[in-house]
Amino acid sequence: MRHSSDDLPLALYSAAQVRALDGALIAAGTPGFELMQRAAHAIWRALRREWPEAGAVTVLAGRGNNAGDGYLVAALAQRAGWQVRVLAVSEPQRLQGDAALAYEEARAAGVEILPWQAEAEPRGVLVDALLGTGLAGEVHEPYALAIDWINRSGQPVLAVDIPSGICADSGQVLGRAVTAQLTVTLIGLKIGLFVGQALDHVGRLVFDDLQADSEIVASEPFMAQRLAGAALPRVASRQPTTHKGQLGHLLVVGGDQGTGGAALLSAQSALRGGAGMVSLATRAEHIGAAQTRLPEVMSLAVASANQLHALADKISVWVVGPGLGQGAWGRSLLSAAAAAGGVQVWDADALNLLAADNVRIARGSVITPHPGEAARLLGISTAELQADRPAAARALARRYEVVCVLKGAGTLIADPTGRLLVCDRGDPVMAGAGLGDVLAGLIGALIAQGCSAWQAAALGVWVHACAGESLAHKGNGLAASDLCDAIRHLLQERAACRN
């Protein structure tokens, strides 16, 4: 489920950075308890908007400030005449500081506060105020049992700041995690809400900055940024005298026996992405199909690298890997691409051959691995990679000195300097074969038209994801080629105005 929109801030923070931001606001003169009260009001407003007729709230309270937020929400609900209970998973007497003050306020408001028990009856909206962003290791008892109780309840669930059990820095489920219908996150957006397994747990996302001073917020460091339309580059405008030679010549290299369709998809996407000329180097067996399906593409039957060397001077950007295979034919063509140099886009089997250390990719190029390919490039398991996707994307960008597009839920874009972008667009209908081939061709087309590797990756990922969203209403069964016309329309919307 897509859980964000372009009215959210762009900056994404680690848990430590949000704590530092919170500390900076307090140091600047906003008392911590006042921030907690603002948080409770924001949560209560969101709860009433989402479930205005619920009339009952059960708060699951743990420890720390997350619990403090929950106790203050309970007090607000009590004063509004709702039926309210707090089920304390951690002993309230162990609370300290602002969280202890919040507990006392809930008591003063007449809130019923009981120790949590697995036999308790879930009532109304369940407010997850158990663990928050401070969780580092796996969830342990009794919190694990309480999370299971929430998830089995069948009741609507609101998570305070982040669903308990989700790592705020990586989106990993730390053993088990609350599945919420609504998450109200506070002060700063946590990157873990936008990547990996978290996407199955966050539900709809609401953000409140708690009236934080914008100058203080702007002065604090952040970990990454969201991809948003307003912040993306625009495709250069075309003047009346523009001709194809000014829009780049893109070469797709791939399509071994039995996998010619992958290379065709990349070529089709490059055409719809606006490249001036598109050529395809593939097996002789695929030439007939290529000329029939894509007569605009100059299709070349190649048997060895020597045939590609003659093309190198004519090519603006190479897109290498779709359907390439890992046999002698694929290795030979990839070596020709590597020798040609320049900014290239490597995908699929080009990355598997790169992982095998058979070849080197030019600095400043773009790689577009899915998690399995990325794990092979880093020499780790896919599970290890998925446990911290942001760190993996940055590691790949540094290791190969490229722009890395780590595909998957919450696609990530990283460069060797540490810059990191997160795409929170797209739709599950895009879970199918061939969509990566389309993305590679699109990024290549944008480079051919003058975008930098970083700009092309950012704009390409965003347009590709939005194209999938635009077709989601038609249901499952999305074919990769369906995206190409949608990509063309979205790029036109992103085109710069003519002078």
Residues forming the annotated binding site for AMP?
407-411, 436
Helix or strand run (H / E) with residue 454 = helix 453-471
Rg value, the chain, Cα: 26
If you count them, how many residues does the chain have? 499
Binding residues for K(+): 66, 128, 164
CA-based torsion, 294, 297, 301, 302: positive or negative: negative
Look at the block and give the residue holding tokens 């708690």.
210
C-alpha–C-alpha distance, residues 281 and 457, integer Å: 23
Tell me which residue of 196, 201, 210 sits closest to 182, measured CA to CA: 201
Q: Which residues does the annotation place in the binding site?
A: 66, 128, 132-138, 143, 161, 164, 262, 323, 370, 407-411, 436-437
SS3 for 93?
helix
Where do we find the tokens 């951690």?
90
Closest residue by Cα to residue 450 from 273, 308, 309: 273
Q: Which residues are annotated as a binding site for (6S)-NADPHX?
A: 132-138, 143, 161, 262, 323, 370, 437
| Cα 336 from Cα 306, distance rounded (Å) | 8
Pairing mode of beta strands 83-88, 277-282:
unpaired
> Side-chain half-sphere of 11: how many Cα atoms within 13 Å?
18
SS (H, E, C) 359-401: CCCCCCCEECCCHHHHHHHHCCCHHHHHHCHHHHHHHHHHHHC
Q: Angle of helix 32-50 relative to helix 97-108, nearest 10 degrees?
A: 50
Count other C-beta atoms under 10 Å from residue 434's C-beta: 21
